[in-house]
């Protein structure tokens, strides 16, 4: 009687462990799919792939401009902010080009190097842009990214999805997938050992 209870409990434990392993594998597949349709396209679409050194030429704050309304967004998302324009000397080619914060900055407003998020406090936005301009003037040289193919003549300060960020995004689903497969393998080995011992 006790032996039957132990066998039943063992089978229940194996079933739960097997479900856990399969669930982890399924979740990791969903995470792979989500990363593949969200982050990977932005990473592959970016042409600013080569890092170089940029030297500041000028950083000017012009009159307020309006954040252009993107497709499908509401009118209330348009808001005025000071336009910061940063011009740098590209060490790789010696050209004078305009610097943008990220790839998204160029798409949102090609006239400005920095596009802030919508904030109700305009003084906070102005202070942030002035701080960014002063930091550029303080650090005359800094790393930046340019397009080696020449399709984009401007440069960006940082990529939205760098190579390290992409690898980090794939790290967690990989660990989950590995853990799930390991649990499934261990359950199968346990079942095989149980059957083998029963035959003996």
For residues 153-174, average pLDDT? 87
Count other C-beta atoms under 10 Å from residue 178's C-beta: 13
Measured in whole angstroms, the distance separating CA 89 from the mean position of its chain's CA atoms is: 28
For 8-18, what is each residue's pLDDT tens digit? 656 777 788 88
- The pLDDT of residue 114 is above 60: yes
Residues in the chain: 200
| Eight-state DSSP code of residue 113 | S
- The pLDDT of residue 72 is above 50: no
pLDDT of res. 176: 93
If you average pLDDT over every residue of the chain, what do you get?
Answer: 82
Alpha carbon distances (Å) from 155 to 95, 109, 146: 11, 14, 5
- The pLDDT of residue 190 is above 50: yes
pTM of the model: 0.69
For 117-138, what is each residue's pLDDT tens digit? 776 577 888 888 889 999 998 8
pLDDT of res. 73: 43
For residues 49-53, average pLDDT? 88
pLDDT of res. 67: 57
Nearest CA to 119 out of 67, 61, 59 is that of 67
Burial (CB count within 10 angstroms: exposed 0-12, middle 13-18, buried 19+), residue 22 = middle
């Amino acid at each position: 009687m006790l032996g039957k209870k132990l066998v039943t409990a063992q089978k229940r434990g194996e079933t739960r462990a097997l479900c856990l392993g399969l669930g982890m594998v399924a979740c990791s597949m969903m995470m792979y799919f989500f990363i593949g349709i969200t982050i990977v396209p932005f990473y592959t679409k970016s042409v600013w792939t080569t890092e170089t050194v940029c030297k500041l030429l000028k950083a000017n704050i012009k009159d307020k401009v309006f954040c252009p309304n993107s497709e499908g967004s509401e009118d209330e998302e348009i808001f005025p902010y000071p336009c910061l324009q940063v011009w740098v000397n590209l060490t790789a080619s010696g050209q004078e080009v305009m610097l943008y914060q990220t790839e998204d900055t160029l798409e949102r407003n090609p006239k400005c190097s920095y596009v802030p998020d919508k904030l109700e406090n305009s003084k906070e936005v102005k202070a942030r842009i002035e701080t960014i301009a002063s930091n550029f003037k303080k650090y005359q040289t800094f790393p930046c990214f340019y397009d080696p193919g020449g399709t984009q003549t401007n440069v960006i300060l940082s990529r939205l999805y760098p190579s390290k960020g992409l690898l980090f995004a794939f790290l967690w689903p990989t660990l989950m997938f590995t853990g799930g497969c390991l649990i499934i393998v261990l359950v199968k080995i346990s079942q095989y050992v149980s059957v083998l011992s029963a035959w003996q």
